Amino acid sequence: MEELRIIGKPTIYGDLDFLDRFSFTNGRKFPTSYQKFVKRFGYGRVLGEWFIYIPMGDYGDSWNIRSEEIRSTYYDDVIQGELWFDLEPDGTIEIVKQLVPFAQSENGYYLFWNIASQPIINEFDIYITDFRGLGVRKVATSIDELIDKMIDKNRFNEVMPLFCQEPYSPIFECIEELH
C-alpha cells in the first residue's frame, strides 16, 4: 500500500487481543492487510471519508457492533429472497450470504469481505455497494490494493465507477479520543 499521510497522532488501536484471536464462522482470521492497517493506524477516517471499523468492544463504531448492525439491514431479506438492491455486476445470492461488512463511507457506501474467498493467502475479496444504484462490485483482494486503487488517478474508477470524479486523498485522520 502506498503511504498515507497521517493527520494527528494514532492513539486508539482497539482490542488488539480480539484482533489477533478472532475467527469467523469458517475458522478464518481477519485478513493480514486489515490486521496490519489496524496496528499501524488504529481508528480514524481514511481517504477523507471512510471509516474502517476496528474491534473496540462495545463502542458504537466498533467492528464488533457496526458489522452486525449493517449486516442486519439486508441479511434476512437475502435469506428470504426479498432483495431490494441490485446484485449486478459481481454479486450473487451465495456471495452476499458470505459478505461481512468492515467499512462505511460518509456518503453511504459499504465495504465487505467475502469470507469464503481467498484470492491471495490470508486475504478476502473485497466488495462495495451502496444498496442503491451501484450494485455489488468486487473491487480488491486486500485493503492495501483497495487503498492503492482509490488514490490512483488511473484506477480509482475501478472502485467507484459511477460517482467519483477524482481519486481520494491519501490521508488518514486520527480520532484521538472516543466520545
Choose the CATH number for 5-174 among 1.20.120, 3.10.50, 3.30.70, 3.40.1580. 3.40.1580
Quick one: pLDDT at residue 82?
79
User: Which position has the higher pLDDT, 18 or 86?
Assistant: 18
Quick one: pLDDT at residue 75?
77
Quick one: pLDDT at residue 32?
97
Reported as a pLDDT band with limits 50, 70 and 90, residue 163 is low
Residue-range domain boundaries for the chain:
5-174
Contact criterion met (CB below 8 Å) for 75 and 84: no
* Residues contacting residue 22 through CB under 8 Å, at least 6 positions apart: 29, 30, 55
Quote the cell numbers at residue 161: 465507477
Quick one: pLDDT at residue 133?
77
Quick: pLDDT tens for 82-130: 777 777 888 888 998 899 999 999 988 999 999 999 989 999 999 998 8
d(CA 179, CA 176): 10
Does the pLDDT value for residue 158 go beyond 70?
yes
